[in-house]
Amino acid sequence: MKLSAKNTFFSLLVILIFSSCARNPVTGTKEFMLMSEGQEMALGKQSDPSIGAEYGLYDDKVMQDFINAKGKAMGKISHRPDIDYQFRVLDSPVVNAFAVPGGYVYFTRGIMAHFNNEAEFAGVLGHEIGHITARHSAKQYSAQMIGQIGLMAGIIASEDFRQFAQEASQGLGLLFLKFGRDHESQSDKLGVVYSTTIGYDSHEMADFFNTLNRLQGDSGSSIPDFLSTHPNPVDRYNKVHQMSDVAQNVVDKNSLKVNRNQYLRMIDGLVYGEDPKQGYTENNYFYHPELKFQFPYPNGWRLVNSPQQIQIVPEDGKALMLMTLSGEQTIDAAAQAAVEQFKLTVLDSRRTNVNGLNAIAMVSDQVPKDEQGNQTGEAIRLLTYLIQFNDFIYIFHGISSQEDFSRYQNQFKSTMSDFKELRDASKINVVATRITIKEATRAGIFRQVMANLGVVSEDLEELSIVNGMEMNENVEIGTLLKTFSKPHNRPVSQSGGSNNNQPSNSTKTDTNSGSNTQPGKIGKIGKPSGTTTGGSGTKTDKKTGGGSIDSTTTDPKSTTEGKSSDTLGKVIKPKSSTNGSKTKTKKKKGGN
């Protein structure tokens, strides 16, 4: 008797499930798993170079040695001690840490600037190693795969279900968000166990998580508890404290370390915020001190500068400007390559002059088509400027729907036609904001003590978060405090010195110069690899396949695991861009 297609499908599904179980290293229980340990290792090795290339590695040997030592020690006592764990500090101001399968753990310099002691760092380190030891990426991958199989089974089995396939897919997304929160809670528990085992007070980890709630409140972007991929920070705070009490019942509590002063001395001189040498904005102008160019952009538009692509988006999200570097040798070759790469239909093309620089300006359409040549979506229109300056060819694309193009064309042209050489020394010689550690010279509340140390009023609130203290919290004389090497939250143009412009730690050898002259300066544009005309490297946490000039940008790892990659391909229609803000972490003062 022949099996129906539906019965055959379910039979194969049952065989797949029962043949794909593996024992979890942490729980010891058998779990459904479609990714082998070998595949995990391969994924980590594949992801690591691209992550380092995308965001850059922060050059600080003392800090790197510290992370390596603590990470290796924790890896040895973890549930998967045989993994060759690798630890990196990324040159990003975003406050985050994340892990990818195979033993790779990343900390941004942004999160390193916000830790206030070694115990806080150790707790987050344990949390990230916990994601690896519990095989959370592999489980998430397997759950997503079987969820899709189950969705297909429902479509096969039920005529009614077919009508609701899209709604069911959305429901699966919500289901796996909950699955992610469970992972986070398990990693919190492992963070407590691992950090306690290597001798740190994991209560500090709880206090660190508690500050996330304050940061979300400050930014106005508090994540709803139900849809959050992380446990609500308040719940996390209480649970981690409870788990810490349990873990410390079996150890000598007096032997547990916090090491506040040691940690603060180590990060003295750490670059804070964005790197102006890689590009910054001021008064609706973008300046690039290293490549020595500048251009204006429209008032009210948001500029996002990622490693090899600048994106400028209006509030309504109905247009998009991109600027990148070409890998071609001549301006004509660059124009031709852009037309071919993005399958553009050129409506007008002419040679022009932009502030004394050779340029080509062209208007073109892009019509999305399938393999049979049928139009699959709305056509878009582009104004493109290719400008030759020094050793590079700079490409601007102004993109909108055909219907909206006339509305934005003048704004596109105003930006592109005012590209010019940067000669102002005060814009070129911008210095980085760095963390500078100082001792409180008097006792008092935080606000007063910091003002006595010369901190400007505009920086007080941010420094209260960075130091993990409330504005009215009492500070004892001699307490080590983080300050900024120069005013950070108001514009400062300078060709030489600055307020507190030298970090107090004269032994720092890192070569990073970054920061911003006012809040919100984002990222860096790098030199082209020569592999594509449009460049590549938009920051994103998910692979987009064949590639696109994309109108969305995300910073390293809004989730705790994964990898970063993106390429350029066809131009896509502009869409609204969320206004991300820097997530900085306020920390508890802690002891020595």
User: Got the DSSP string for 356-408?
Assistant: TEEEEEEEEEE--B-TTS-B-S--EEEEEEEEEETTEEEEEEEEEETTTHHHH
Tokens 């006339």, located at residue: 406
- The whole-number pLDDT of residue 136 equals 62
Most confident of 43-47, 53-57, 129-133: 129-133
- The whole-number pLDDT of residue 212 equals 67
Most confident of 88-97, 229-238, 316-325, 543-552: 316-325
**b/e per residue, 473-497, with b = 16+ CB within 10 A?**
eebeeebbbbbbbbbbbeebebeee
Cβ(441)–Cβ(453) below 8 Å: yes
Angstrom distances, CA of residue 358 to CA of 295, 386, 517? 16, 8, 31
Cβ(359)–Cβ(374) below 8 Å: no
Give CA angle at 567 (566, 569), nearest 5°: 140
Residue 453 pLDDT > 60: yes
Cβ(494)–Cβ(429) below 8 Å: yes
Residue 19 pLDDT > 70: no
- DSSP helix/strand/coil, 35: coil
Cβ(167)–Cβ(155) below 8 Å: no
- The whole-number pLDDT of residue 536 equals 29
pLDDT bucket at 43, cuts 50 / 70 / 90: confident
Angstrom distances, CA of residue 22 to CA of 14, 190, 236, 340, 384? 16, 20, 29, 48, 54
Instruction: Report long-range pairs for 283-287 (Cβ below 8 Å, ≥24 apart).
Output: 283/491, 286/310, 287/422, 287/427, 287/428, 287/430
Decide yes or no: CATH 3.40.50.300 for domain 276-427: no
Q: Is the dihedral of CA 474, 478, 480, 482 positive or negative?
A: positive
pLDDT bucket at 22, cuts 50 / 70 / 90: low
For the ranges 27-36, 59-68, 368-377, 523-532, the lowest mean pLDDT is seen at 523-532
Considering only the C-alpha atoms of the chain, give the largest distance between any 2 of them, rounded to a whole number of Å: 90
Residue 413 C-beta-side C-alpha neighbours within 13 Å: 11
- The whole-number pLDDT of residue 314 equals 92
Cβ(87)–Cβ(105) below 8 Å: yes
Cβ(308)–Cβ(525) below 8 Å: yes
Give CA angle at 68 (244, 522), nearest 5°: 90
C-alpha–C-alpha distance, residues 81 and 305, integer Å:
39
Torsion on CA atoms 233, 236, 237, 239, rounded to nearest 10: 160
Provide the percentage of residues in the chain whose pLDDT is more than 70.
64
162 backbone dihedrals φ, ψ, rounded to 5°? -60, -35
DSSP 507: T
Helix (H) or strand (E) holding 15: helix 5-18
Express the helix, strand and coil content of the chain in percent, nearest 5 each.
40, 20, 40
For 515-563, write each residue's pLDDT tens digit.
333 322 323 444 433 333 333 222 323 332 222 323 333 333 333 333 3
Side chain identity, residue 348: D
In the chain, what are the domain boundaries? 7-266, 276-427, 433-511
Residue 16 structure tokens:
């797949």
> Bigger pLDDT: 509 or 394?
394
Residue 9 structure tokens:
């499908």
Helix (H) or strand (E) holding 350: strand 345-354
Tokens 């032994």, located at residue: 507
C-alpha–C-alpha distance, residues 155 and 384, integer Å:
46
pLDDT bucket at 11, cuts 50 / 70 / 90: low
> Bigger pLDDT: 172 or 226?
172
- DSSP helix/strand/coil, 105: strand
- DSSP helix/strand/coil, 309: strand
User: For residue 323, what are the β-bridge partners?
Assistant: 310, 396
* Of 563, 539, 565, 542, nearest in space to 305 by CA: 539
For 334-355, write each residue's pLDDT tens digit.
999 999 988 999 999 999 999 9
DSSP 519: T
For 460-504, write each residue's pLDDT tens digit.
999 999 999 999 999 999 999 999 999 998 654 443 333 333 333
For the ranges 171-180, 307-316, 567-576, the lowest mean pLDDT is seen at 567-576
